[in-house]
Amino acid sequence: MNSTMQMMQNHSNDMSMAGMNMTVMQECIEACSACEQACTMCADSMMAPEMATCRSMCSNAADMSAAMMRVMLRPTGMSREVMSSMLQATMVMCMACADECMMHADMSADCKMCAEVCRQCAAACQAMIDSMAVV
């Protein structure tokens, strides 16, 4: 268990959003962090002009997943409504970025891996939305 997960567990009892599934949220935090990193690197490595859309979308996905991650790391002011709309936005962003990256996955190992990481992030956001609907 890494330092972030240990700190999150310390706060599992005092979180303002009752019924939050901590396991699902921890996976989503990890997925957002991986997405920010993969997208930042992917954007940096795209050289060709035809990769311009991909670069731009990857930069956007990095910023959105970074913001999403931070919001999940702040239990004190957590709000169901805010969380839902941000998870939705992150999911849409990550799927759009994954689709764009997949268009040139044959030519770029970065894009192929970045697309995979984006999809995992979108899936982790969907799992969060699902877990919130249950409670």
Contacting residues toward its own copies, per CB under 8 A? 2-4, 6-8, 10-11, 16, 29, 33-34, 37-38, 40-45, 47-49, 52-57, 59-60, 62-64, 66-67, 69-71, 73-79, 81-82, 85-86, 88-89, 92-93, 96, 100, 109-110, 113-114, 116-117
| CA angle at 113 for the pair 101 and 67, rounded to the nearest 5° | 75
b/e per residue, 29-61, with b = 16+ CB within 10 A? Answer: bbbbbbbbebbbebbeebeeeebeebbebbbbb
Q: How far is the CB of 20 from its own copies (least distance, A)?
A: 14
Q: Which is nearer to its own copies, 109 or 135 (CB)?
A: 109
